[in-house]
Amino acid sequence: MGEDREMKQKRIKVLEMIAQDMKNDAKKFDGKPFDGRTVAEYFGNQGAAIAALANIIKSILMDKE
């Protein structure tokens, strides 16, 4: 049972980190020129966040089996 609690805490920590990264990105990109490089970097960051969220959802679903 302790492992379940530990895994839950790990997931919460990762979610908090993702949320903070997104908040930091919003500040980082505010006021930057809307050019290909900036857009590519921003989308890359978004893709990484989506992948991290997908991995958490996958691990939750696998735990339910």
Tell me which DSSP letter residue 51 carries: H
Count structural domains, the chain: 1
Q: From the first residue on, what is the mean pLDDT of each consecutive set of 10 residues in the chain (65 residues)?
A: 82 94 90 92 93 93 82
Domain of residue 55: give its range. Answer: 2-64
Q: What is the dihedral of CA 40, 19, 27, 46, to 10 degrees?
A: 10
pTM score, whole prediction:
0.76
